[in-house]
Structure 1
Amino acid sequence: MKIKRKIEIAVISDVHLGTYGCHAKHLLTYLNSIEPKKLVLNGDIIDIWQFSKRYFPKSHMKVIKKIMSMASNGVEVIYITGNHDEMLRKFSNTTIGNISIVDKVVLELDGKKAWFFHGDVFDVSIQNAKFLAKLGGYGYDLLTVLNRCVNWYLEKCGKERYSLSKKIKNGVKGAVKYINDFESVISDIAIENEYDYVICGHIHQPKIEYRENKHGKTMYLNSGDWVENFTALEYQFKRWKIYNFNKDKLAPFIIDEEVENIELKDLIAAITIVDHVKEKAKI
């Protein structure tokens, strides 16, 4: 029997099911490794912009089935709409069983307010030129297909994977400025509204960072994506961490910094999980 990591909240975004760039098998492996109380799907889960009946592999369908199964087994699933799945916004504020569809949500986490939304509402390029944004989406999809071929060759040669899109984005001053502006605007609004955490996706840049201005401070978090970074956000023991599939694999949630006021039963449960994993590794 596989041991699953128990966490309070898992946040994934920018999965882009239905596109060639989506790594559904990686995501499925991750979802099978956790047992969250809440699963927040923070936008662009299904890529309706580029959806085609000709391409929707079984692995992509398995992700949807897995999420439905988690909901039926008591996990609260919050689906926050994004720009690539914006058609679902007509169903906003709809709840079916344990699944709710919203445009944004505020949750109270251990006495602190967390503001969740996808982030496209702050993207001027999408709001003012949706056609160009969609065209860019197709170009990005073609780039990820090319990247897969490159990485297949690199892995065969025993070399590290390489992200073409990340290299391009990080090398273009305009893209870097856009990302910085995106993070600053969102953080400033969160501070203005006295949110302790602001959690988004959209720009495919996983990050946890304290942001501060003269009015206060907040923690900015981005869940990244499952196209090139393979990351998620996890909340447990009153703190956040970025889960990275390439680095963490199925490692247990180990406390790596001082944590105050942890319930004894929670700590025992975490230690038990770690011990079980270690014993299994010896077999």
Structure 2
Amino acid sequence: MIITSISDVHIKESTDSNFSLLKKFFNHEYVRKSDYIVLNGDIFDILIGGKVQYLKKYSDFFLLIESAIKNGSKIIYIEGNHDFHIERLIRKSKKKLGIPDEMFLHIKNYFDIEVDSRLVRFTHGDDVEIENESYRKYKRAINNPFVKFLGDYIVPFSFIEWIGHRASNKSRGKNVKKYELTVEGQEFVKDKFRTSSKLYFKDHSNISGLVCGHSHCKDYFKLDDGKFYVNNGFAPASKSFIKISDAGVEFIDL
């Protein structure tokens, strides 16, 4: 079995360099041979709700999905904090492209795959991170069913795009300066997520592997009991993806 996973690509337009990186991922020989391709959240910089305009704006992305499925891979799209309430959009894409339901799955929280008799959990990682109450309040707010209804049926597409990118840029400006651009910041995030993964394993003893995104900090951490936490980081910076098979875990360069 081969599983490949990428997260935190943060595509804004299908013409930008981040989309080119995702295209390179889908065209990689290991990805083309994958039984599962896991898109582990924040593939887009902003993708909210089920607006049909996304099918046109990101038509090249959905063609990549269609091609991978025709090649025999099962696609798992796990929501992040930049791409959420997208189940309706994925249903529309499957209907438009004639994709079988079981081959393209929308996952709200996490997805488990058994690898060599061990359970590996894929999750965006924001549910794993500890000690971030302000973010948890934000996540509870955006997951409100009323917010989903507004995004799907009431708020215009153009306004969703505007307010989403505005919030994203504001958040990124603060976090990049504080964490991503300094060695100290990266070490802080790495240690925080390693501690978070240890606590997560303690509460979920049946899980042997944890594959996350969200932190924008590339890391592969093995625990003493053989369990592991792995994160590909911010894909445009790491220029890599995760490959998991019976042989183990690897970072593959793009």
TM over 0.5: yes
Inter-CA distance 60–41: structure 2 relative to 1 (3 Å threshold)? same
TM-score by length of structure 1 reads: 0.61
Separation in structure 2 between the aligned mates of residue 169 and residue 139 of structure 1, nearest angstrom:
19
1:101 matched residue in structure 2: 106
- State the Cα deviation string for residues 148-197 of structure 1 (Å, max 9, x = none): xxxxxxxxxxxxxxx9887624244xx64344222211232124422211
Inter-CA distance 110–177: structure 2 relative to 1 (3 Å threshold)? same
SS at match of 1:39: strand
Query: Is 2:232 aligned against 1:238?
Result: no
1:118 matched residue in structure 2: 124
The residue type paired with residue 8 of structure 2 is D
TM-score by length of structure 2 reads: 0.67
Query: Is 2:218 aligned against 1:206?
Result: yes
2:23 matched residue in structure 1: 28
* CA shift for structure 1 position 61: 4.5
1:138 matched residue in structure 2: 169
SS at match of 2:236: coil
Inter-CA distance 210–59: structure 2 relative to 1 (3 Å threshold)? farther
Report percent identity of matched pairs: 21
1:184 matched residue in structure 2: 195
* CA shift for structure 1 position 43: 0.6
Instruction: Say how many residue pairs are matched.
Output: 210
Is this contact kept in 1: 2:120–2:211, CA < 8 A? yes
Separation in structure 2 between the aligned mates of residue 228 and residue 164 of structure 1, nearest angstrom:
15
1:86 matched residue in structure 2: 84
The residue type paired with residue 11 of structure 1 is S
The residue type paired with residue 71 of structure 1 is I
Inter-CA distance 244–59: structure 2 relative to 1 (3 Å threshold)? farther
Inter-CA distance 24–237: structure 2 relative to 1 (3 Å threshold)? same
* CA shift for structure 1 position 224: 2.0
Is there any run of 5+ residues in structure 2 with no aligned partner, and where?
Answer: 95-99, 142-163
Is this contact kept in 2: 1:9–1:236, CA < 8 A? yes
2:183 matched residue in structure 1: 170
Is this contact kept in 1: 2:38–2:76, CA < 8 A? yes
Larger Rg: 1
- State the Cα deviation string for residues 206-262 of structure 1 (Å, max 9, x = none): 2211124xxx552111122323222210023421101122xxxxxxxxxxxxxxxxx
1:45 matched residue in structure 2: 43
The residue type paired with residue 26 of structure 2 is L
Inter-CA distance 109–115: structure 2 relative to 1 (3 Å threshold)? same
Query: Is 2:214 aligned against 1:224?
Result: no
SS at match of 2:223: strand
Inter-CA distance 167–182: structure 2 relative to 1 (3 Å threshold)? closer
The residue type paired with residue 170 of structure 1 is V
Greater relative contact order structure (CA < 8 Å, 6+ sep): 2
Separation in structure 2 between the aligned mates of residue 80 and residue 171 of structure 1, nearest angstrom:
30
Separation in structure 2 between the aligned mates of residue 50 and residue 91 of structure 1, nearest angstrom:
9
Is there any run of 5+ residues in structure 1 with no aligned partner, and where?
Answer: 1-6, 144-162, 246-283
Is this contact kept in 2: 1:72–1:98, CA < 8 A? no
* CA shift for structure 1 position 137: 3.0
Separation in structure 2 between the aligned mates of residue 129 and residue 142 of structure 1, nearest angstrom:
17
